[in-house]
Structure 1
Amino acid sequence: MCYFIEINLTKIELEKRFGAKMPEDFQWKPAYFFSGFDYPRIPVVISQQPENFVPAYWGLVPSWIREESKAFEIRSKTLNARMESISEKPSFRKPFLSRRCLVPAHGFYEWHHAGTRKYPFYIALANDEPFALAGITDEWTNPSTGEKIPTFSIITTQANSLLERIHNSKKRMPVILPPEKEKSWIDPSLPPESAMQLLLPYPTELLKAWPVSRQIASRTIDPASPEFIQPVSFPELEIDLK
């Protein structure tokens, strides 16, 4: 699954890469580590207004949720949406049809299991370029305040050969969209059958990965520190990353 991402990209870098403007009233802070379980607010590009970033909270809350307690409860279960069931689950079905989005990223983290131990890995494009993760969004109205709150989920698919070796317990990976497919993904007129065909494992040869410090899980590192993505050697770890 995909619960931890890196978006160490400035407002200017994001605007240039995605051709969308950041809202003036949104204070974007780049970071090497975003945890979905913190439900961070991240700028995404949505089908309805691709010319602007929309700050949305990670953890999709369906528009039909009426109770605030239910909204807080469901979001921990909707950080990711499996492509195999995205067109069937009530939380994801409508967003998949008409509210698809691009989630900007520069890398992501997955855990490798070896016996009883876990090792974190950082994964990025081989060319070190930013990329878009396939996502879906929905807008939930807070019943207490009337505020309309955009939320999103990152779509996952079957792991490629590299991620099978790294993320060897779940064997999943987030859907990375090729740049030439990004506009198609957020085109609201794209039929669901065609949208489903975009949810493929990214080619192994276009990715790079290495182990990083276990401290990324302890919250002892400043999210703005490049220490998050510094390669770390684990002599006891045997894994082929080629």
Structure 2
Amino acid sequence: MCNYMGHRVTKQQYIRLKQIEKQFGIAAALEVLKSGFEYGDWAVIVPNEDKTNFDIKMMHWEFIPNYINSIEDLKLVRKGINPRTKERQAAIPWLNAKSENLLINSSGKKAMWADAARKKRCLVLATHFFEWRHYKPHDSKKEFTYPYLIDFYNEDEPMYMAGIYNTWTDKVTGETMDTFAIVTTEANELMSIIHNSKKRQPTILTEDLAYEWLMNDLTDERILEIAKYQLPSDFMIAHTIDRDFRTNPDPLQPFDYYELPDLDLAT
């Protein structure tokens, strides 16, 4: 899943989507590493009311559904505790939304993402993201994880990741905030080798698809078609980085592991 990402876009650069152009100009510029588990804010593109233009906003990276009553309840859910019964349950970080379950969940019921997928679609800006590869060296009995940096083929141009958002209200304090999740799809050939535990990748859209996702009124069928779009491997480049990249002053710096085989894509 996409839980770490970043961008090298400066405040002076412009975001271009078809015929629309807007200066980045927000606090997140040049934030090369962000963890979703910090539950902070990130740059997101949303359409204006009549869908003739777009705005770049900072939103809370964690889709909070309306049935969560308060921040305190949300903290319990993050820890795997049911806020109503206080019983243990699976911890659910709502950082990503699987494309296959945007409208209907795995139980065959309406998904918690459905209304947002139909009415509140957005684009999440990033120039790169991070993922881990599982591998057991020949001389080891233990499997290790190796972090990778995955770049868009044009390194300093932002990717448009499909996203959905919800305006959530804390029923205790009355505070409201816009919250979002990144849509994910099945991994392409490159990402199947890197993210070989779950074989997923963010839904990264071409400019045409990004504009359609953001601006057009879409049928349920078309929503799912775009949400499942799989950017080909040819549009990505990747290299290994230091396991300590999260505390490294230069988290994007390549780092080689002698025991790890190269990314061997079929030719």
TM-score, normalised on structure 1? 0.88
- The answer on 1:61 being equivalent to 2:64 is yes
Match of 1:139 among 146, 164, 167: 167
Of the structure 1 ranges 143-152 and 37-46, higher mean CA displacement relative to structure 2 is found in: 143-152
- The answer on 1:77 being equivalent to 2:93 is yes
Report the CA distance between 1:165 and its aligned residue: 0.6
Aligned-partner residue type, residue 17 of structure 1: R
Report the CA distance between 1:21 and its aligned residue: 5.7
Instruction: Tell me the SS of whatever aligns to 2:218.
Output: coil
TM-score, normalised on structure 2? 0.80
Instruction: Tell me the SS of whatever aligns to 2:113.
Output: helix
Alignment of structure 1 residues 88-167 onto 2, 5 Å: 88-89=104-105, 90-115=111-136, 116-128=143-155, 129-167=157-195
C-alpha distance in 1 between matches for 2:101 and 2:198: 16
Q: CA separation of 1:70/1:91 partners in 2, compared to 1, >3 Å: closer, same or farther?
A: farther
Report the CA distance between 1:162 and its aligned residue: 0.5
Q: How many residues align?
A: 233
Partner of 1:234: 257
Contact 2:241 2:253 in 1 (8 A): yes
C-alpha distance in 2 between matches for 1:144 and 1:105: 34
Aligned-partner residue type, residue 10 of structure 1: T
Partner of 2:41: 41
Report the CA distance between 1:63 and its aligned residue: 2.9
Report the CA distance between 1:6 and its aligned residue: 1.5
Aligned-partner residue type, residue 109 of structure 1: F
C-alpha distance in 1 between matches for 2:264 and 2:72: 43
Which structure would you say has the larger Rg?
Answer: 2
Aligned-partner residue type, residue 217 of structure 2: S
Of the structure 1 ranges 63-72 and 173-182, higher mean CA displacement relative to structure 2 is found in: 63-72
Contact 2:47 2:54 in 1 (8 A): no
C-alpha distance in 1 between matches for 2:168 and 2:219: 24
Ranges in structure 1 where 5+ consecutive residues have no aligned partner: none
CA RMSD of aligned residues (A): 2.0
C-alpha distance in 1 between matches for 2:235 and 2:220: 27
Partner of 1:211: 240
- Identical aligned residues as a percent: 30
Contact 2:47 2:55 in 1 (8 A): no
Contact 2:15 2:24 in 1 (8 A): no
Contact 2:121 2:214 in 1 (8 A): yes
Report the CA distance between 1:74 and its aligned residue: 4.7
Q: CA separation of 1:77/1:230 partners in 2, compared to 1, >3 Å: closer, same or farther?
A: same
Match of 1:193 among 195, 207, 221: 221
Aligned-partner residue type, residue 237 of structure 1: L
